[in-house]
Amino acid sequence: MMGSMGTRRLISRLVSRQRFPPPPRPFRALSAGATTLPPPPPAPSGDPPPRSGEAPPQDDGAKPHRRTTGGRARRGVAGDYEEEQTLVLRAALPHVVRLGWSESAMIAGARDVGVSPSIVGTFPRKEAALVEVINFFMDYCLERLVGRIDSEEGDKLKDLILSDRLSKLIRMRLEMQVPYASKWPQALSIQSQPMNLPTRMKQRGVLVDEIWHAAGDAGLDIDWYVKRTVLGGIYSTSEVYMVTDNSPELGDTWTFVDRRIKDALDLEKTVQEAANLAEAVGAGVGSSMQGFLKRAFQG
């Protein structure tokens, strides 16, 4: 018994000498006059903070104009590029007429805007920088077309019949390529390379969709695919025809576009009439077969 009591006293002395960390400090109590917690810091906004001596930007409630295609917001022409890259690509377009769709045109554009020519190596596809000029041009033309559609010029399309509306929209877009007609075979060759086909098909699909929407088509049935496939083929053939056209003011090209559009609409009408006829004939044959079977069983 005495040994156990001595052991307990020894353990208690050792525990009393052990140093433990101090207990955590309690939360600071609010002052007597405070009734609510202080508000949290404001959430960061997407705008950069104002510089010293500069007034903060005012929110006027206006929203940026963003055109939607197929229910999805489409980014602007500079959506995939930095600011300096956009300046270089835009400045390179006037040099394409003389230098073609080449890296030389991009270097000349960079010098025009005071940017180092080494920026050519900063584009997403460094091995094919000239493709960037073509892709930028296609997106740039699409934005110009959308701008004309949204203007008073687009309102005048409502007074035209469907075939004339489609022809007018295709002509508006092809006219943007006229200054580059001598170099456009090179652009078509570059766009036809396997690595560039997905981008070309995507751009062509967005263009055709914009044209059909501007023409008043908003259907979502199976005809949606048929109409856009047909119109895409008409645009592609018209684009190639324009490259070989030597007529004054490209008159033969616009006649070619008008005829292809009318032929396509006439074909659609013929197919619809044939489908209606087949349905009527099928209904008639069905009625005759029913009568024949009824008489056979009665006999």
Span 19-57, pLDDT tens digits: 444 544 444 444 444 444 444 444 444 444 444 444 444
Burial (0-12, 13-18, 19+ Cβ within 10 Å), 23:
exposed
Q: Residue 254 — very low, low, confident or very high, per pLDDT cuts 50/70/90?
A: very high
- How confident is the model at residue 45, as a pLDDT? 45
* Interval 185-199 mean pLDDT: 90
- Residue 81 CA, chain-centre distance (Å), reads 14
Retrieve residue 205's tokens: 């699909």
Measuring CA to CA, which residue among 77, 258, 254, 259 is closest to residue 175? 254
**Angle, helices 223-243/184-191, rounded to nearest 10 degrees:** 140
- What is the pLDDT of the chain when averaged over all its residues? 74
pTM above 0.85, yes or no: no
- How confident is the model at residue 34, as a pLDDT? 42
Most confident of 75-79, 155-159, 221-225, 246-250: 246-250
- Assess whether pLDDT exceeds 70 at residue 10: no
Structure-model confidence comparison of residues 61 and 2, the more confident one:
2
Structural domains in the chain, CATH included, are 81-123 (no CATH), 131-270 (1.10.357.10)
- Assess whether pLDDT exceeds 70 at residue 18: no
Tens-place pLDDT, residues 60-93: 443 333 344 433 334 455 455 678 888 999 999 9
* Interval 129-135 mean pLDDT: 80
- Assess whether pLDDT exceeds 70 at residue 160: yes
d(CA 141, CA 172): 10
In the block, which residue shows the tokens 């094919």? 128
Q: What is the DSSP string of the chain?
A: -HHHHHHHHHHHHHHHH---PPPPPPPPPPPTT--SPPPPPPPPPSSPPPPTT-PPPP--S------EETTEEPP-TTTTS-HHHHHHHHHHHHHHHHH-SSHHHHHHHHHHTT--GGGGGGSS-GGGHHHHHHHHHHHHHHHHHHHHHHSHHHHGGGGS-HHHHHHHHHHHHHGGGGGGGGGHHHHHHHHTSGGGHHHHHHHHHHHHHHHHHHTT----STHHHHHHHHHHHHHHHHHHHHHT--SGGGHHHHHHHHHHHHHHHHHHHHHHHHHHHHHHHHHHHHHHHHHHHHHHHH-
- How confident is the model at residue 49, as a pLDDT? 42
- Assess whether pLDDT exceeds 50 at residue 201: yes
- How confident is the model at residue 67, as a pLDDT? 46
Tens-place pLDDT, residues 214-237: 998 877 666 788 888 999 999 999
**Residue 68: phi, psi to the nearest 5?**
-105, 150
- How confident is the model at residue 66, as a pLDDT? 38
